[in-house]
A and B are shown apart, each in its own frame.
Chain A
Amino acid sequence: MSTLAPPSADAAISGGDPHGAHSEHKQPGFIGRYIFSSDHKVIGMQFLLTTLFMLFVGGAFALAIRWQLAYPWEPLPILGKALFPTTGGRITPEFYTMLFTMHGTVMVFLVIIPILAGAFGNFLIPLQIGAEDMAFPRLNMASYWIYWPAVFCFGYSYYAAGSLGAGASSGWTAYPLLSALPDANPGTGPAQTWWLYGLTLVGVSSMMGSVNYLTTIINMRAPGMTLFRMPMSIWGMFITAILQAFALPVLTAASLMLIADRELGTCFFIPTGQLLPGADVATVGGGQPLLWQHLFWFYSHPAVYIMVLPAMGMVSDMLACHCRKPLFGYKPMIYSMTAIAGLGFVVWGHHMFTSGMNPALGMTFMVSTILIALPSGIKVFNWIGTIWGGHVRFNTVLLNCAAFVSMFITGGLSGIFMAAVPVDVYFHDTYFIVAHFHYILFGATLFGVFAAIHHWFPKMTGRSMSERVGQLHFGITFLAFHGVFFPMHLLGMAGMPRRYADPYVHPPFENLLGMNEFMTWAAIVMGAAQLLLVANFFGSWAFGKKAGRNPWLANGLEWSAPSPPPHGNFDLPPVCYRGPYEYSSPVVMPDRDYLPQDEPAEAHAVQGA
């Protein structure tokens, strides 16, 4: 144990009474400590628990969608009876559009983005760079508490039209005119406005976080923690924060413009002469619906990288640790990440190849989009290189990381088809697209998150998660995942469109019903398997084996803090002496295979890569 932390720290643990005589520092009460806490770890945990809860909400929407696709217009189990008593529990088409809108919204804005930046960003950034907290703790707290009004707005949009199940229903992309004309659709009345308020608030929450992360990473690194000694997680968060800081204002502007179109009668997105069924007058506007698509994707395409870059960083850290080996190509990894972020700003048009924008632009966006595969590929090769020659621990963390790599390859390769304009003309808005982004967002990011939960859980709670349950959860999720999402490629090949409540009314898709049924049952299995994660999470929190400071024998600064770290994180302000990936370093081999970043450099110490 003595090698784990400086001797002074041990002394500090045993000595000192936390409730002792200290007049100046006021102890916060329960509310101050757990609810309105400005401690980055508490906020991180708040984000983690909230987003995990939202993951289940979004998953429930997904299962309802899958049910309808496998058993179209058959009574919806569990909720159908309460929601649709007059139809014998059958859902309605507008409820289906609401389902996929909310599934997308919840998963993108309330799960993936906040679980990476909000939960892990908050928890890891100060710990990994050796800071005692975020640069702006109160801003940090505000970023969490503004998340809830957003949840409220999204949630209230279900009730806004006066009845349950009338939520926003113009898709998570909210293309006008559907989203701009309040009378266009059941869910585009007040529900859509509330949805837009929610979108704006989520953006505010992310923006607060990103300003904070940038400041913290730039200003508050421990002595010796140079930029090129930062763990990849931090690099991922850093680049993500930059992306958010630059792209988010555009989304906020767009969403305010759309709110203005709806509430104030401006016509940014509404052209002249469009006539809704049953409407008495046609629109007068002179606006341009394509403008929304440009603005929306100018944020939402970088957002795709916001949704994967931090996971990439964390996976790099975890792979190195659990392969007991330095990260392969640390700097190329950083450069490729930066390249992804940079190129990420100039590829948004690939969502719009069939939209009617200038066809010549299509070519430009095709080249930039295909080029973004290059840094992504470099990262994949480097991860494989990291595993190569390692002493691999086959635990839950590594398995989830390896799944991340495998899924990222698959999702990345299917992306090439969409980047190629002519081929995308066929695949646009088919299930091929759905397969692609689920491989990236669920397959890659969420498996990365599962890995991260298992990896940093000891640091968060002081206890270890059950390896047995964790591996079982991984195995079932991994198999069921492919059962759900791989066949989607083939559905897309057959041309099955997205967002169809009942594709089978069209004869060409009749033979796809069987496959969809299989996928639905795989999805149900996958959903059920997540209960294992919850059980493992809370069970281990309460009863898990006590983990010491450094259960994985890892190098990062966070592992030299107590588990769970106290307010202020470190016993002593840490000093960084080397890079984070000095595993199996000849300097300390064969005594031990790790060399923490804050272990003072001795005469034989090798400077980090």
Chain B
Amino acid sequence: MRSALEIRFALMRRPIISAPPLPLRALSPFALAAALLLGCEPAPEPEFASPVGYDGLLEEMRTGTRAEVEDYDTGEMVERDLVGFDQALDERFGSPADPAVFTTLPVRFSSSEAAVIDVLDDEEAETTVFTLAPIQGAETVPAVAKGDVLHWNDEFGSPHEAVVAAVEGDAITVPLVPFEARPVSLPLGFNEETGEPLPGTVVIGDADLLEEGRELYAVHCLHCHGSTGAGDGPTAKYLHPLPRDYRSGMYKYTSTGTGIASRADLTRILRDGIPGTYMPSFHPALDAEKTASVVEYVRWLSMQGQYAKGVTDEAAFTYGDEAVRERLESEEGLTREDLVQELIEYWPDDVTGKLSFVGTFLAENWALAESEPPVTPNEPRPVLTGDELAASIERGKGLYLQKSTQCASCHGSRGLGNGPQTVSVQLDAATGDPYAEPGIHDVWGEVVQPRNLTRGIYRGGRRPIDLYRRIYSGIPASNMPGFGDNLSDEQIWDLVNFLMALPLHPSLLDGAELDVSHDDDAVAAARPALPPAAPELKADQS
């Protein structure tokens, strides 16, 4: 027995484990080291992406060119560099992580900004003296020292900078500034009493406030809203609804009555969040000061997107790939060179002028959002209790179901957000083509679900005034019409009362059906949604 076992063990004995092949072992440290060295170089900061259609523009228009042009002063022909859109956009905005100063825009770029109330040239000494004053809302002029760099933009929005040569009180001496490069206020304005032009603004140093906003944005916002504010951060693809794409300059929950949000609107959203979405409240992580700088940065991102888009759309009208192709086909003997020559001839209008025009237009719109008072009812909400309140709610319910208001056609006859419009195919307002999928679309082309009014989740805020504003001006960005022109304040408050009661008593709409029997004469067809900002811009120009 034993010997048999012995034999068996002896036969089976073989070394079981041996070393891995040598070349593999020898190579692995090098592979590791190479991966480490290559990988340690940090990823580049992302740049702003070009808007749709930008790459189709005539190449010279984008990159700029060098050509003989007539000198503005002497009338002689001189060879000059013509600044194209690439460089212009870069000068005006820089990159998301390193914002440039572009004082044309109503953005607070820096904590040290000053108004220029007087400009005096000293031709002999080849210097210019700026007299500074505090900007609106500030009390003192920020400290300026010799050697500081000043940034400002001229009438056409072109950026300029100068090194401070001397400081004497509020008078700052810099090297001679040509007349056309002087800082001016934009939008151009004049003092009503004296007729003097309003002061321009200079920024001392860099856009530090925006950079501060950017740092906070990178921590709190970037992963959803994306580096450039396109709403395309890496987290965005998992979210429903999608994070806001700031570049269109459109916001849903505004108090301004348009798609443009005021600083107060953005501040409120950062503080309160948007219930029912993934946008959380950032209170108390962002205090008032931090919130202000994030808001400023977000506004700047919006304006960048709108500016680039605006310039592109303007230029594409004459020099976009489609326009160019059409002209080359329709006009006999016209070559691309002719077009370039034409472009160079009209460069001040077609390129520089458009840069200036779009900037001014934008600045005006955004400034209006701040200066105009928010949408406010003329009549206060009546204080109602008991039967009066019930009657008001009943009236509100009537308005809700009325055919002319069409509330129920989107929000559904039970208020569940499932009205017939949500399953019908809609037309794209911009192109006139039907959307691929049924349902209501917002200006970003995404399907948007009308609110389920029985949940008690109010994305734009739950105060009566918030509901009033939603009804009065609608939500332009998601094509909810406003009823301010067609409903009286009293009627809107009835609707508000009804909407506030509905989540507490969903049975209010039990068995309700769209009322088709009697149309209230006071209510005409609902005003259509405001067109989005960009088409409006185009219409204005042509």
- Residues of chain A touching chain B, judged by Cβ–Cβ distance below 8 Å, are 8, 12, 15-16, 18, 20, 22, 25, 33, 39, 41-42, 45, 72-73, 75, 77-81, 84-90, 92-95, 132, 161, 163, 166, 183, 185-186, 275, 277-280, 460-462, 502, 505-506, 538-539, 541-542, 562, 564-568, 570-573
- Residue B218 at the A interface, CB < 8 A? yes
Q: How far is the CA of A92 from the CA of B20 in the complex (A)?
A: 39
Asked if A79 meets B223 with Cβ closer than 8 Å, knowing A88-B45, A277-B276, A566-B14, the reply is: no
Asked if A41 meets B17 with Cβ closer than 8 Å, knowing A73-B218, A92-B234, A506-B285, the reply is: yes
Q: B residues within 8 A CB of A15?
A: 10
Q: Are A73 and B16 in contact (CB under 8 A)?
A: no
Q: How far is the CA of A229 from the CA of B280 in the complex (A)?
A: 63
Asked if A73 meets B219 with Cβ closer than 8 Å, knowing A85-B43, A564-B15, A566-B15, the reply is: yes
Q: How far is the CA of A559 from the CA of B46 in the complex (A)?
A: 62
Q: Are A25 and B276 in contact (CB under 8 A)?
A: no
Q: A residues within 8 A CB of B190?
A: none
Binds A, one of B238-246, B390-398, B528-536: B238-246
Contact of B40 among A20, A45, A77, A461 (CB under 8 A): A77
Tally of B interface residues using CB under 8 Å: 52
B532 to chain A, nearest CB (A): 23
- Residue B19 at the A interface, CB < 8 A? yes
Q: Are B43 and A502 in contact (CB under 8 A)?
A: no
Q: Are A94 and B235 in contact (CB under 8 A)?
A: yes
Q: Are B39 and A84 in contact (CB under 8 A)?
A: no
Binds A, one of B105-113, B225-233, B363-371: B225-233
A-B contacts besides A15-B10, A73-B219, 17 pairs, CB < 8 Å: A16-B11, A25-B8, A77-B42, A86-B233, A87-B46, A88-B46, A89-B42, A90-B222, A92-B234, A94-B238, A161-B238, A277-B276, A462-B15, A542-B19, A564-B16, A564-B17, A572-B2
Contact of B36 among A78, A93, A185 (CB under 8 A): A78
Q: B residues within 8 A CB of A185?
A: 238
Q: Are A278 and B9 in contact (CB under 8 A)?
A: no
Q: How far is the CA of A8 from the CA of B278 in the complex (A)?
A: 76
Q: B residues within 8 A CB of A88?
A: 42-46, 97, 227
Supply 16 A–B pairs (Cβ within 8 Å), ascending by A: A18-B14, A20-B11, A25-B8, A77-B42, A81-B41, A85-B43, A87-B222, A88-B45, A92-B223, A186-B235, A277-B276, A460-B17, A538-B25, A566-B13, A567-B14, A568-B13
- Residue B138 at the A interface, CB < 8 A? no
Q: Are B223 and A87 in contact (CB under 8 A)?
A: yes
Q: Are A89 and B43 in contact (CB under 8 A)?
A: yes
Q: How far is the CA of A279 from the CA of B25 in the complex (A)?
A: 53
Q: B residues within 8 A CB of A567?
A: 12-14, 16
- Residue B131 at the A interface, CB < 8 A? no
A334 to chain B, nearest CB (A): 31
7 nearest interchain CB pairs?
A78-B39, A566-B13, A89-B43, A81-B43, A186-B238, A542-B19, A16-B10
Q: How far is the CA of A39 from the CA of B14 in the complex (A)?
A: 12
Q: How far is the CA of A166 from the CA of B12 in the complex (A)?
A: 49
Q: How far is the CA of A570 from the CA of B25 in the complex (A)?
A: 31
Q: Are A93 and B235 in contact (CB under 8 A)?
A: yes
Asked if A18 meets B13 with Cβ closer than 8 Å, knowing A78-B40, A88-B45, A280-B452, the reply is: yes
Q: Are B9 and A12 in contact (CB under 8 A)?
A: yes
Q: Are A538 and B19 in contact (CB under 8 A)?
A: yes
Contact of B19 among A75, A77, A505, A541 (CB under 8 A): A541
A94 to chain B, nearest CB (A): 6
Q: Are A505 and B219 in contact (CB under 8 A)?
A: yes
- Residue B35 at the A interface, CB < 8 A? yes
Q: How far is the CA of A541 from the CA of B285 in the complex (A)?
A: 55
Q: B residues within 8 A CB of A42?
A: 16-17
Which residue of chain A is the closest to B452 with respect to CB atoms?
Answer: A280
Q: Are B9 and A568 in contact (CB under 8 A)?
A: yes
Q: Are B235 and A80 in contact (CB under 8 A)?
A: no
Which residue of chain B is the closest to A541 with respect to CB atoms?
Answer: B19
Q: Are A86 and B227 in contact (CB under 8 A)?
A: yes
- Residue B220 at the A interface, CB < 8 A? yes
Asked if A80 meets B219 with Cβ closer than 8 Å, knowing A86-B232, A88-B227, the reply is: no
- Residue B488 at the A interface, CB < 8 A? no
Contact of A278 among B8, B219, B226, B276 (CB under 8 A): B276
Q: A residues within 8 A CB of B45?
A: 88
Q: B residues within 8 A CB of A506?
A: 285
Q: How far is the CA of A567 from the CA of B14 in the complex (A)?
A: 6
Instruction: Mark out the residues of chain B between 444 and 470 whose CB falls within 8 Å of any chain A CB in the assembled complex.
Output: 449, 452, 455
- Residue B139 at the A interface, CB < 8 A? no
- Residue B436 at the A interface, CB < 8 A? no
Q: Are A278 and B42 in contact (CB under 8 A)?
A: no
Contact of A75 among B36, B42, B234 (CB under 8 A): B42
Q: B residues within 8 A CB of A93?
A: 223, 235
Q: A residues within 8 A CB of B12?
A: 25, 566-568
Q: A residues within 8 A CB of B19?
A: 461, 538, 541-542
B251 to chain A, nearest CB (A): 18
- Residue B326 at the A interface, CB < 8 A? no
Instruction: Mark out the residues of chain B between 1 and 43 whose CB falls within 8 Å of any chain A CB in the assembled complex.
Output: 2, 5-6, 8-17, 19-20, 22, 25, 35-36, 39-43
Asked if A572 meets B223 with Cβ closer than 8 Å, knowing A93-B235, A94-B235, the reply is: no
Q: A residues within 8 A CB of B220?
A: 505
Which residue of chain B is the closest to A12 with respect to CB atoms?
Answer: B10
Q: B residues within 8 A CB of A186?
A: 235, 238
- Residue B87 at the A interface, CB < 8 A? no
Instruction: Mark out the residues of chain B between 367 and 423 whose CB falls within 8 Å of any chain A CB in the assembled complex.
Output: 417
Which residue of chain A is the closest to B20 with respect to CB atoms?
Answer: A538
Which residue of chain B is the closest to A280 with respect to CB atoms?
Answer: B449
A87 to chain B, nearest CB (A): 6
**Binary interface encoding of chain B residues 160-194 relative to chain A, with 1 for a CB under 8 A from any of its CBs, else 0:** 00000000000000000000000000000000000
- Residue B341 at the A interface, CB < 8 A? no
Q: How far is the CA of A59 from the CA of B278 in the complex (A)?
A: 32
Instruction: Mark out the residues of chain B between 291 and 343 whose CB falls within 8 Å of any chain A CB in the assembled complex.
Output: none
- Residue B277 at the A interface, CB < 8 A? yes
Q: B residues within 8 A CB of A33?
A: 16
Q: Are B42 and A81 in contact (CB under 8 A)?
A: yes
Q: How far is the CA of A94 from the CA of B97 in the complex (A)?
A: 23
Q: Are A77 and B222 in contact (CB under 8 A)?
A: no
A74 to chain B, nearest CB (A): 9
B1 to chain A, nearest CB (A): 11
Q: Are A92 and B16 in contact (CB under 8 A)?
A: no
Contact of A571 among B9, B42, B43 (CB under 8 A): B9
Q: How far is the CA of A409 from the CA of B10 in the complex (A)?
A: 47
Q: B residues within 8 A CB of A86?
A: 46, 226-227, 232-234
Q: How far is the CA of A161 from the CA of B226 in the complex (A)?
A: 20
Q: How far is the CA of A466 from the CA of B285 in the complex (A)?
A: 53
B130 to chain A, nearest CB (A): 37
Which residue of chain A is the closest to B455 with respect to CB atoms?
Answer: A275
Q: A residues within 8 A CB of B237?
A: 163
Of A39, A90, A541, A572, chain B has the most CB atoms within 10 Å of the CB of A90
Q: How far is the CA of A87 from the CA of B97 in the complex (A)?
A: 11
Asked if A75 meets B10 with Cβ closer than 8 Å, knowing A90-B218, A92-B235, the reply is: no
A524 to chain B, nearest CB (A): 11
Q: B residues within 8 A CB of A94?
A: 235, 238
Q: Are B227 and A18 in contact (CB under 8 A)?
A: no
Q: B residues within 8 A CB of A39?
A: 16
Contact of B17 among A16, A45, A90, A275 (CB under 8 A): A45
Q: Are A565 and B42 in contact (CB under 8 A)?
A: no
Q: A residues within 8 A CB of B452?
A: 280
Q: Are B238 and A572 in contact (CB under 8 A)?
A: no
